[in-house]
Structure 1
Amino acid sequence: MRQKIVAGNWKMHKNAEQTEDLLNELIAEIPTESDTQVIVAPTFVNLASAVDHLEFISIDVAAQNMHQAESGAFTGEISAEMLTNIGVKIVILGHSERRALFHETDALIANKVSTALAHEMKVIFCFGEELKDRQKQQHFNVVQNQLHDGLFHIEDAAWKNIILAYEPVWAIGTGETASAEQAQEMHGFIREIIRKNFGATIAEDVSILYGGSVKPENASEIFSKPDVDGGLIGGAALNAADFLAIINAI
């Protein structure tokens, strides 16, 4: 059985007090006997306190990004060693906002993946097409290329530390809506690509999360699809009731 995962990307939201309040709300209601892995990704300045706060709680902490270099003159950047030193062992890489707003390329993301794996971190690897790609019927090609160029350089053994997160960028904050069937179609395609390149065992074992505006209202339908193993949640993760409803939808 593949690991079911719900990860909340808090982006640039929540100060220290608000972070503690949201964590406390989650702690109070988090299912204690669930097999679902729950991950939260606060801002860099709140990672250490979140790790301490969740020390004895079944909620993992992820960073939203990291630099590919081990150290150096990179003002404002954070290294893998800095993250692992405070107990953060998961990192989100390749998020659509990093690609679009900060011009991160597949080659750069590939370097970040290599660095994270060298530090034995788990990687939530994000990828997905934009609206123009889907309108031109290029969405499968875009996804295949992002996977190939950003991730397929890794060794077979490293796949145990990879979580895939498909983000249809066209369905995030655009007014467009992706159906559960569209999510399953792409997830099935992704798993088949991995099978062709790395074999059936890795393809069946890797968790593929859906990151296209999952909400309490649509979570159950999306998560019911055979190749959807959970979600990378944005806005709904900032509200404890909504995030918990999504967790309980798996």
Structure 2
Amino acid sequence: MSSIAVQARPVAVRSLLPSAAVLARFAGPVLVVVLWQLASATGVLPERLLASPLTVVRTAVDLLEDGTLTHALSVSLRRAAVGFVIGAVFGIGLALVAGLSKIGEYLVDPLLQMLRTLPFYGLIPLFILWFGIGELPKIVLVAFGVAIPLYLNTFAGIRSVDGKLAELAQVQRLSRFELIRHIVLPGALPQTLVGLRQSLGVAWLALIVAEQVNADAGLGQMINDAREFLRTDVIVVGLLVYSVLGLLTDALVRLIERRALTWRRSFL
């Protein structure tokens, strides 16, 4: 056997690895769905406790056809988007203030460290008293959930920038603005993207909590109505939509990481 053939085999094997990885990634969820359907079909899992996967699929199609799911999804996406933008601006802005100045750290960090321990449910009554029962308290709750992880990770990223790079900037006579632009922000970017992934996950959790209270539209309101009528199929549809939204936004940030951090070598 020639050396060329021997060398070609590992290449061929490696080319098969991505497809195998994709199959392995979906194996667990598919197995859960199969067992779920079997349990429902055999009566081990009654429909009154949890609708079968086939029932959930039929319900999702019906909700799409009559526009219920589309309307609820659009309302929830709007709340999440507005809350995320507001939270990102505050989180990153406060991290820059605290990370680039000791005085800023003394003013901002203790307050944010205190606020990050507060649970979402504990804030809802206060937000309702402050902002009423309309859209504003829901958006503020999402913004709060987004701002905290973005602040913590961006602040940590700024403070973890190698001090030798700052010394090099002084040798090169870089201005304060050039130091921040060319050294601090690129150095903090990996940790900021970690915070972005975390904040998106928290945003969906905050939205679920917010839409369970005094919501007149959205996925949470759809789930609440379904609970009143014991419609586990509709509840599962709503929860699955939340899950898919979380996975899609996480995949988007992963894509941004791969594009923005091409210079960083990873373990795998």
For the superposition of Structure 1 and Structure 2, which TM-score range results when normalised by the shorter chain?
under 0.3
Q: Which structure is higher in strand share?
A: 1
Normalised by the length of structure 2, the TM-score is 0.22
Q: Which structure is higher in helix share?
A: 2
| Larger-gyration structure (1/2) | 2
